[in-house]
Chain A
Amino acid sequence: DVKVTQSSRYLVKRTGEKVFLECVQDMDHENMFWYRQDPGLGLRLIYFSYDVKMKEKGDIPEGYSVSREKKERFSLILESASTNQTSMYLCASSLTGLNQPQHFGDGTRLSIL
């Protein structure tokens, strides 16, 4: 069965810290995505990657970076965490191609104090 695993379900960090959110998929998917989910705003795309070491900006990349050194792992990095980055972060993966379903992880609820 398809599995996307996010390293933490809940995370609390302090303003200014560098934060790493990790995502691993076991389906050999080429595409991986990072979204943030906020009430009333739905899912907003931060970054995505269609291959190892490749990345593309989504709609809200400011304040974030990503790393994809291996096919199965996609990391989201908050360079200097701020309180407005408190949110639910969802990782997803899919096969290559435009119209492939995305498989989501359970999410990481990140609080920045």
Chain B
Amino acid sequence: QQPVQSPQAVILREGEDAVINCSSSKALYSVHWYRQKHGEAPVFLMILLKGGEQKGHEKISASFNEKKQQSSLYLTASQLSYSGTYFCGTMDSSYKLIFGSGTRLLVRP
């Protein structure tokens, strides 16, 4: 079953912050985050494992609350280059990575 991402879309001005959420109805082993720019391949951002650790990538960080089966992606001081569609992928006991439907982010000057 696909994880649910929210919001579906968000528009920011350069320098603003955003949070993208990902939630699952199943117990999770890990959460993966990817970004896809228009017309390009998805690119790996980070993986979060059980244990609630927080990881970072440039000014993008994420957390994983395994008890709530949720992950959040934090984009701080957004840049124009952050525009794209963000996908979370969740791995449960099936050992398959299941992607959400994506969150479209547009950063404007």
Contacts and interface: CB of A to CB of B under 8 A. Distances in A.
Interface residues of B, number: 23
Contacts of B44: 101-103
Contacts of B42: 43, 90, 104
Contacts of A101: 32, 44, 47
A59 B102 CA distance: 17
Residue among A4, A99, A107 having the largest count of chain B Cβ atoms under 10 Å: A99
Main SS of chain B's interface residues? Answer: strand
Q: How large is the interface on A (under 10, 10 to 19, 20 to 34, 35 or more residues)?
A: 20 to 34
B47 A102 contact: no
A102 to B, nearest CB: 7
25 contacts: A4-B41, A41-B101, A42-B99, A42-B101, A42-B102, A43-B87, A43-B89, A44-B99, A45-B97, A45-B98, A48-B96, A58-B96, A59-B96, A90-B41, A90-B42, A98-B95, A99-B29, A99-B47, A99-B91, A101-B32, A101-B47, A102-B34, A102-B44, A104-B42, A106-B40
